[in-house]
Amino acid sequence: MTQALSKYLKPGGTLLVLDLLKEGNLMINGVFAEHGTHDIVAHKGGFARHQVEEAFNAAGLLSFNFDDAISAKKNGYSVTLFVARGIKPLAAS
């Protein structure tokens, strides 16, 4: 998905991703209990920094940045959302 999205960026454009941070103690079935009753894509527990960085690198994005963005509660569980940023390289002269 990162590679597909990066193709739409102009040279020098920025891709921002906000998603669930993968944490070892996160009870994913408790946090997203509604996924068992709806026809939606189930969460797999979020993404770790290294997974996001690998995806951005594979898409050719530069200046990778990754920070915790939001701490919240969902169904009584603490969750953290991250924001990741990468920049499409400028076109070669």
- Helices (H), ranges, 1-93: 2-6, 28-31, 49-58
What pLDDT is recorded for position 25? 65
What pLDDT is recorded for position 93? 46
CA 57 – CA 86 distance, rounded (Å): 9
What is the torsion angle, in degrees rounded to the nearest 10, for the CA atoms of residue 31, residue 35, residue 40 and residue 46?
30
Establish if 17 belongs to a structural domain.
yes
Give me the number of domains the chain comprises.
1
Establish if 67 belongs to a structural domain.
yes
Establish if 92 belongs to a structural domain.
no
Establish if 36 belongs to a structural domain.
yes
**All residues at 6 or more sequence positions from 4 whose CB lies less than 8 Å from its CB, including other chains:** none
CA 52 – CA 65 distance, rounded (Å): 10
What pLDDT is recorded for position 46? 83
What pLDDT is recorded for position 89? 96
What pLDDT is recorded for position 27? 57
Domain limits at 24? Answer: 2-87
Closest CA to 47 of 79, 77, 15, 78: 79
pLDDT, one tens digit for every residue, the chain (93 residues):
899 999 999 999 999 999 989 877 665 655 665 555 556 655 567 889 999 999 999 999 999 999 999 998 877 778 889 999 999 999 754
Establish if 55 belongs to a structural domain.
yes
